[in-house]
Amino acid sequence: MTGRRKGSKVVRVVRKSSHMGDHHSGSWKVAYADFMTAMMAFFLVMWITGMESNVKELIQGYFNNPIGFKRAYSTGTSPVAHEGPALSPGSARIVLLSRDAERRRMEMVIERIERRLAEANFPGSMPGKIEMVVARDGLRIELMETDQDETFFTIGSAELRPAALRALELIAAEIANLPNDIIIEGHTDGRRYGTDAYTNWELSVDRANAARRALASMGLGEDRVVEVRGYADKQLRVPHDALDPRNRRVSLLLRFRDGSSASVVDRAVTD
C-alpha cells in the first residue's frame, strides 16, 4: 500500500516558463559582432580599391611579408623624414613601404648611370669624381674634383667644362625617368676668389645654376628643379682641409617624395 507518510513534508517544484530568456542570451552579440566585422572589411576593401595602383601594391607587399619589412628597418636610422604631425603606426608603415620602393628605384638608377659612365668616352680621367648614394634625404649625386686638375669647373669659374657637360648628359637621361623633385647645390673650397663683390657665395650659386641650365638643355623638365642652393665653403666635404679639391663640387639631390620624419616614423612603428 502506497501513500504519504504521516508527518512528511511535501516538496512542490514549480517550473516557470520564461519567454524573455532568449533575449538575454549572448547569441545576438556574436551575430552583431560578425556583422560589424563584415562591414569593416567591406569598408577597407572600398578604401583600398580607391587608392592609386602603386599604393595598393605597397600595401599588398607589406601584408605578404610583414616580418621581412620589419627586419629591413629594425636597426639603424630610419631613412624617412617628416615635418608634419605625428604619424600613426599604420600610416608610418605605409610611409616606410613607399620609401622602400623609392630606394629600390633609385638604386637601379645608380646602377644604370654607373654603366653609362663606364661605357662613356670622357675627356680626361674620371674615376672617383662622380659619387652616387641613396642618403637620408634621397638620391644624392655629386660631381667633385679629386685632385688639382680642373675636371668639371675651372678654379674660380662657373663655366662647365666638357667632362661636366658629358656627365650631366648621361645623368639627365636616367633621372628624367624619376618623378622626384631636384635640388641643385653648389660648393667651393676655402680658397678666396675674386673681390668683395664676387665671393665664394656667388661662385657656388653660379655653379649650381650652370648645372641647372645644362640639365634643362638636355631635356630635363625645368619644373623638376625646385631649389638652387649655394653653400660657398660652409659645408666642406673634407672639413679638416678647406683647400682639399673634393670640397669643390656640385650636388644633385633627388628628394624622397613623402615628407615624413625619421624620428616620428621610428617611434610610431615601434609603438
Q: How confident is the model at residue 82 (pLDDT cuts 50, 70, 90)?
A: very low
More confidently predicted of 55 and 212: 212
3-state per-residue secondary structure call for 24-55:
HCCHHHHHHHHHHHHHHHHHHHHHHHCCCHHH
Q: How confident is the model at residue 10 (pLDDT cuts 50, 70, 90)?
A: low
| Class of CATH domain 109-255 | alpha beta
231 closest CA partner among 168, 188, 198: 188
Cβ atoms of 74 and 252 within 8 Å: the answer is no
160 closest CA partner among 220, 208, 232: 208
More confidently predicted of 209 and 32: 209
The Cα–Cα gap between 122 and 165 comes to 10
Comparing 32-36, 65-69, 73-77, which segment has the lowest mean pLDDT?
73-77
Cβ atoms of 30 and 38 within 8 Å: the answer is no
The Cα–Cα gap between 3 and 228 comes to 113
Tens digits of residue pLDDT in 126-180: 555 899 999 989 999 999 998 777 889 988 899 999 989 999 999 999 999 889 9
Residue 186 is predicted with a pLDDT of 96
Q: What mean pLDDT is reported for the chain?
A: 77
Q: What is this structure's pTM?
A: 0.61
